[in-house]
Amino acid sequence: MKELEILNRPRRLRSNLILRNMVRETRMDKASLIYPIFVKEGQGIKEEISSMENQFRYSVDMLPYALEEIAKSGVSSVMLFGIPNKKDECGSGAWMQEGVVQKALMKAKSEHPELYYITDVCMCEYTSHGHCGMLKGEMVDNDKTLPLLAKTALSHVQAGADMVAPSDMMDGRVKAIRNLLDSNNYTDTPIMSYAVKYASAFYGPFREAAGSAPAFGDRKAYQMDYHNRKEAIKEALTDISEGADIIMVKPALSYLDIIREVSNEINIPLAAYSVSGEYAMIKAASKLGYIQEDNMICETATSIYRAGAGILLTYYAKELAKFMDEGRIG
């Protein structure tokens, strides 16, 4: 048999684990993970979210137990979402000194100061109508909402937030927040902007978890149309020009092309949010025996990093940290 003359053999670099790890193109570590957590008013509460198996709502007094578990996993950053008891037309609970996120921050900082605390800045959990700002008729009034978002961000930072993350998708909100933080001597507090946030069906379980579904209509007048690609670049560059320090793409799995495009265009860190619907689908398919959950967690997370994200918000943060320790991913 004539000897084949194959000069380029890609399999050479796949022959054993040490070599595969050496030439790995996509690398992740635990410092890049952010764990989202829901905090609600009340006492003694740890209640499972029905649409998100093994995810919970915690009252402020129970929060330290969750934070201890997060810290032990090796995850160092959390994103706090607040669930108030009372809501009103303007979402005033969002910026109250005794608001649920503000109280959670003070408790968290006293019990687990080693963790890094990021807060979601939005109105939808706090408004009686479930939209992300002040209403004018049945439309959100962009400009009247901006000072409320800025006031909310400032209240979070005053309560101990290390970073704020506006998720409302109002035009100009990054600039409004940056200006108010700077004028109050919080010039070193970073802003992670949900700059590229699509109107998505993947948010369903989150809205059940946070009680933030709109009472009427939808959010397509302010969240992005998922048909649009170039608009993502426009949104990202606009927020950078207004002072954003980190840009986020949300959701993640159906928007890997967007993550790559934005990554190619910007020169600041890029985050992606693997949202509730993505988590719920993996959980459901695993429960039915259709997939192997651990392998799916590793593969989907890697795809997000491979697409260009350097930071990942995910409900699987603790599991991913474990898999990184075991060398299964990273």
**Annotated active-site positions, please?**
197, 250
One-letter amino acid for residue 18 of the chain: I
- Distance (Å, rounded) from C-alpha 232 to C-alpha 235? 5
Q: What CA–CA distance (Å, rounded) separates 11 from 150?
A: 54
Decide if 182 contacts 174 (C-beta within 8 A).
Answer: no
Would you state the structure tokens that stand for residue 72, as one six-digit string? 């032990």
Query: What count of residues does the chain have?
Result: 330
∠ at Cα 23 (22, 25), nearest 5°? Answer: 120
Distance in angstroms (rounded) separating the CA atoms of residues 240 and 226: 21
The 3-state DSSP class for residue 140 equals strand
Q: Distance between CA 328 and CA 330 in Å, rounded?
A: 7
Alpha-carbon distance of 268 to 242, in angstroms, equals 13
Q: What is the DSSP secondary structure assignment for residue 4, as one 8-state letter?
A: P
List Cα–Cα distances, 145 to 3, 54, 213, 311, in angstroms.
Answer: 73, 34, 18, 28
What's 8's DSSP letter?
A: -
